[in-house]
Amino acid sequence: MSTLPPPEPTPAGPGVPPPQLVRSPLSDGEWHRLHPLTPLLRGGLFLIVVIGIVFANLRDRLLYIFLPWLAPGVGDEVVEWEQVGGDPVDFIIANNLYVLAGVAVLAVLIVLVAVFYTSWRFHTFRITDDDVEVRSGILFRTQRRAPLDRVQGVNLTRPMIARLLGMAKLEVVGAGTDANVKLEYLSTANAEAVRADILRLASGRRLAMTAGPGGAAAPRQAGRVASLSQTVGREITGLIEGPEAPVAERESVVHIPVGRLVASHVLSASTLGLLFAVVAIVIGVSQGVTWLLLGFVPAIIGFGAYWVRSIVRSLRYSIAPTPDGVRITFGLFTTITEIVPPGRVHAVEVTQGVFWRPAGWWTIRINRLTGRSAADSTTDQFTTVLPVGTAADVERVLRLLQPSLPDDERALIVRQGMFGPTDDDTFTNTPKRAWWIRPFSYRRNGFRLTDDVLLMRRGVVWRKLVILPLARLQSFGLYQGPLDRASRVTNVRAHVVTGPVSPFLAAVDRDSALALFDDVARGSVRATLADRTHRWAEDETVPTPPPGAVPAALVSTARDLDVPAGPPPAGPVTVGTAAPPVPPPPAGYTVAAEPGKDRA
């Protein structure tokens, strides 16, 4: 017996999202402005930098005026400068032009404030049922648009100063280079609601979960000035206790102790290189080679800053399932929360360095479309989904990233893929005749193909396991050089979106590689035709559940992970249209390139 969905209300106009799908009044299809304090964060920081430069250049004069006892020898120099009038400040003092200088400074400030205010007035955005649009610019207008069916994720970033003011930056990740649409800044409550609306609209859901009858907007706050002091106090407390999270969201399935995080950075190859550099400096200076100090000390200071920044950025890490994908949160002072919708992970790599092996630690990185350029140094923080964790942590994270894998297959991935080879190894490894190509790792170097994923295992010093969903595969290639032909082996490479994961495997038996090529072509076509994750809730008819409810699939995932489940839905969940069975490809069917289409 099927449950028919209630009729959907007719939208107010073309492009206006259905009222059941949105909670925020900013998601009504009309143009809205950003938070009024946006110019303070975007332009005010520029003024702070300018004031800092002025103070740096006038430090001697300021010491003479306010703290003369700290620099008694500066007074005579300042008096001499003022008498000579060698710079603009001395000229103003020598000619008694204080009033004119004050008027000039005030005029410049008024112009800057007017420019910032005008820029804020011209910076608008709107959210329709098809896309997110942003218009900006005074003289030169710019309009950016992110189609909802191509959204790769929605990131919510809260820099420390913006966090103290109760504001956040929302970034809609698009499916291309420099394709992201940024809303900076919104209030934290509005940013959370708008992010949920964007993901709900992108999911293709017919009837969304609403906060109450008819969809509720966020409660109106008492007043901006009155609530600002409360927000600052609450956020200062949050810097100590941790970032607040909505009550309805689930707890993290992985908890990383601070000691493990610090130790993982200490036990790394970069730390070993730093120790060698320090020893070289000490030996060189003792031998009279003083230029080593000028060459290596700045590099050591830079490495130390990077080391500390990496640790601080990974603090308060959490990963948990949500109705719209995997929620990843990290950061101590600047808190970043990103939600990766289903089907947006193109490759997964589980890695263990030789220094982490005694402790049994692993890290997980993914390839995904970040919407940023390759030169953007912040891209790496959006591709590391597990900074450091145990094998049990890896299994929990893989359960979130690849929920379609059966439990026995996932256990096999951990046992044979990460720790293998084992006595009952099911991977196809490098033949013994090609041991000289991979002399240390040829016993571990191999692949395994399932109905959903392609596994590539390699490395001994740095163990690596690459998991490639067949539905996300772009193409698959075989490469063979003259030495490979002599040993009857070949190299295989899967082509996915650019990222830290390199899906490459060398020294594979030639006949096995040819069979793998055909099997991957068939499997990727079949997986692509059956894949529906690009619109992950399009076929669902979900009655209005209580706040905090999670779809049944994610409830079962959370139960398997021993995560306390939220309240169950208040009604049955029915599927309107099931995916038709995919017939097997005809005999002899092969695909030479692009066996699967990427649903970005």
**Rounded distance, CA 20 to CA 453, Å?**
36
pLDDT 10s digits, 216-243: 444 444 455 555 455 555 545 454 444 4
Which amino acid type is present at position 332?
Answer: L
pLDDT given for residue 568 in this prediction:
39
pLDDT given for residue 284 in this prediction:
78
pLDDT 10s digits, 267-318: 888 788 778 878 877 887 787 777 777 777 777 787 878 888 888 888 888 8
**Rounded distance, CA 93 to CA 79, Å?**
10
Looking at 11-15, 80-84, 452-456, which range is the least confident one? 80-84
Do 15 and 130 meet the contact criterion of CB atoms below 8 Å apart? yes
ω into 317 cis (within 30 of 0): no
The torsion of the CA quartet 58, 60, 61, 62, rounded to 10 degrees, works out to 80
Looking at 11-15, 220-224, 249-253, 306-310, which range is the least confident one? 220-224
Q: Measuring CA to CA, which residue among 369, 319, 373 is closest to residue 344? A: 369
**Rounded distance, CA 508 to CA 520, Å?**
15
pLDDT given for residue 588 in this prediction:
41
Q: What DSSP assignment string belongs to 387-413?
A: EEE-HHHHHHHHHHH-TTS-HHHHHHI
**Range ranked top by mean pLDDT from 87-101, 188-202, 236-250:** 188-202
pLDDT 10s digits, 128-147: 888 899 998 888 888 888 88
Q: Which residue has the higher pLDDT, 526 or 60?
A: 526
**Rounded distance, CA 515 to CA 526, Å?**
17
pLDDT 10s digits, 432-483: 999 999 999 999 999 999 988 999 999 998 999 999 999 999 999 999 999 9
Q: What DSSP assignment string belongs to 320-354?
A: EEETTEEEEEE-SSSEEEEEE-TT---EEEEEE-G
Length of the chain: 600
Query: Confidence class of residue 94 from pLDDT cuts 50, 70 and 90?
Result: low
Cα 526 to the chain's mean position, in Å?
30
Do 427 and 449 meet the contact criterion of CB atoms below 8 Å apart? no
Quick one: tokens of 302? 């830079």
**Rounded distance, CA 169 to CA 545, Å?**
29
Give the residue-averaged pLDDT of 101-127.
87
**Rounded distance, CA 472 to CA 162, Å?**
37
**Rounded distance, CA 505 to CA 269, Å?**
23
pLDDT given for residue 373 in this prediction:
60
**Rounded distance, CA 402 to CA 398, Å?**
6
Q: Measuring CA to CA, which residue among 430, 433, 477 is closest to residue 458? A: 430
Q: Which residue has the higher pLDDT, 315 or 175?
A: 315
Angle at 69 between CA 66 and CA 70, to 5 degrees: 85
Q: Is pLDDT above 90 for 509?
A: yes
CB atoms within 10 A of CB 69: 6
Query: Confidence class of residue 394 from pLDDT cuts 50, 70 and 90?
Result: very high
**Range ranked top by mean pLDDT from 58-67, 239-248, 336-345:** 336-345
Q: Which residue has the higher pLDDT, 161 or 541?
A: 161
Residue whose token pair is 């740095």? 462
**Rounded distance, CA 374 to CA 501, Å?**
14
For the whole model, what pTM was predicted? Answer: 0.73
> What's the Cα-to-Cα distance from 88 to each of 59, 92, 100, 344, rounded to whole Å?
15, 6, 13, 58
**Range ranked top by mean pLDDT from 161-170, 209-218, 379-388, 543-552:** 161-170
What's the DSSP call for residue 418?
I
Q: Is the Cα dihedral 37, 41, 42, 44 positive or negative?
A: positive
Q: Which residue has the higher pLDDT, 24 or 441?
A: 441
